[in-house]
Structure 1
Amino acid sequence: MIRQAVTRNAVILGLFAIGTAAALALTNQATLARVECNRQQALIGSLAQVMPADHHDNVLLDDRVAVRDPLLGRGGKTVYRARGDGAPSGAVLEATAPDGYGGAINLIVGVDMDGRVLGVRAVPPHNETPGLGDKIERRKSDWILSFNGKSLDNPDPDGWAVKKDGGHFDSFTGATITPRAVVGAVHRALRYFRAHREALFAAPALPHNTETCDG
């Protein structure tokens, strides 16, 4: 009798464990899907800030290519291609400033086909000093907007630096390293785009995720 009871309890515990593991797996899968949807929605919002809707009529997430170049920073990057009526109209480039005060700063840089900046945004998270270096964030400062309309020729190459280094761009009081890093990264991204513009639009697009994120 005792052995039967032990066996029965072991079976019950085993079934309970299996049921719990299955429930956790389902919950985890649902959570991962929601996290991915949230990430995708955040990306769509960020892309819209640097590539205005009146500059394209295609879905940027569906027209992207993977690239790798030291001008954009270490590791692989994604370039989102903008088109109007099927013709190339600009791109959003992922870029990294490796030399921020608190480490690497990830950016997205929107440009038109002439290489003029349509917008730049810092992509969180970053480790820049709160109240100082975090002024690269649009919600903390308008500084990031100072890139709008700029190009490799405006300002000239010497102007692509902070004013403390003899350049065009302001720095932050008590924090020069962070803006210096961002200015350098944006300049390199523009150089990359000028050198690879035709190849970027000739490359086949990456497969896109056909799953949709419904409320």
Structure 2
Amino acid sequence: MTTLTWRERPTMLGSLLGGFALLVCAAVAISAKLTLPLITARQQEDTQRLLAQVLPNSQYDSMPSQEEVSLTLDGQTVHFFRARQQGAVSAVALFASPRGYGGPIQLLVGIQSDGTLSGVRVISHTETPGLGDKIETSKSDWILGFTGLSLGQPDEAGWHVKKDGGQFDSFTGATITPRGVVKGVHDTLTLFARHRATLLDIKE
């Protein structure tokens, strides 16, 4: 009968494998702990660059990317960022997901404390290339036309594409896409108007 050396015994092999696995896990945990601050900082930088497109720097002296808020309003979760000027909320950037032709269109909508739009950008979409993708700033300046508008400017009738009697241009062969964006922006402004004090963190 062959006698197994201590290295060949199943219990010893299992212990060695277990010890190796623990060492690997420890190394991964330490690496994650060391890199987490760098990853977090990079994510905040990316978020801040995105927010700067809809919230001009002149509107705040804070870091909007560091004040991320989620609230339940009208039975739905509203995700947004607050920008502050001398401690008071001067503007917010809200996320919206209106329906387009190819699916949801992810928007970021910047609104000043007086209800005026400071900018709108499309974060992602699945609209038809060459038609619906004109909502991207790299394809056209159409989305820039929202800056400076509000619920009262234009009036309610104006918040539609021209094909529906409103003031906004549509795209040849792709009316559904701009119609969805216009509705999404208008709905976001309406939500802001209903919950202005809450969104601006105004204490009653």
For the aligned pair, the TM-score class normalised by the smaller chain equals 0.7 to 0.9
Amino acid at match of 1:144: I
SS at match of 1:115: coil
Higher relative contact order (CA 8 A, sep 6+): 1
Q: Aligned equivalents of 1:131 and 1:29: distance in 2? A: 44
Kindly provide the amino acid, as one letter, of the partner of residue 84 in structure 1: Q
Q: 1:143 to 1:88 in 2, by over 3 A?
A: same
Q: Contact between 2:70 and 2:79, CA under 8 Å: does it hold in 1?
A: yes
| Residue aligning to 1:52 | 56
CA distance in 1 between partners of 2:138 and 2:36 (Å): 28
Q: 1 CA distance for matches of 2:39 and 2:190? A: 34
Give me the whole-angstrom Cα distance separating, in 2, the residues matched to 1:129 and 1:79: 28
Instruction: For residue 24 of structure 1, report the CA deviation from its aligned partner.
Output: 4.5
TM-score where L is the length of structure 1: 0.78
Measured at CA, do residues 128 and 37 of structure 1 come closer, stay the same or move farther in structure 2, by a change above 3 Å?
farther
Ranges in structure 1 where 5+ consecutive residues have no aligned partner: 205-215
Q: How far apart are residue 49 of structure 1 and its match?
A: 0.8
Letter in 2 for 1:85: Q
Q: Structure 2-normalised TM-score?
A: 0.82
> What's 2:112 paired with?
112
Is residue 67–residue 83 contact of structure 2 (8 Å, CA) maintained in 1? yes
Structure 2 counterparts to residues 43-192 of structure 1, below 5 A: 43-69=47-73, 75-97=76-98, 99-124=99-124, 126-192=125-191
Which region of structure 1 is more displaced relative to structure 2, 12-21 or 112-121? 12-21
**Rounded Cα–Cα distance in structure 1 between residues aligned with 2:201 and 2:126:** 36
The one-letter amino acid paired with 1:101 is Y
Q: Which amino acid aligns with 2:92?
A: A
How high is the sequence identity, in percent, across the aligned residues? 45
Gaps spanning 5+ residues in structure 2: where?
none
Q: 1:178 to 1:34 in 2, by over 3 A?
A: farther
Question: Does the 8 Å contact 1:65/1:200 carry over to 2?
Answer: no
| Alpha-carbon distance in structure 2 between the residues aligned to 1:176 and 1:28 | 47
Contact 1:89 1:112 in 2 (8 A): yes
1:83, distance to aligned residue in structure 2 (A): 2.6
Count, aligned residues: 199
Which residue matches 1:13?
A: 17
Compared CA separation, residues 3 and 139, structure 1 to 2 (3 A): same
Contact conserved, 2:94 with 2:110, CA < 8 A, in 1? yes
Q: Deviations over 1:162-189 (max 9, x none)?
A: 1121211112222121211111010011
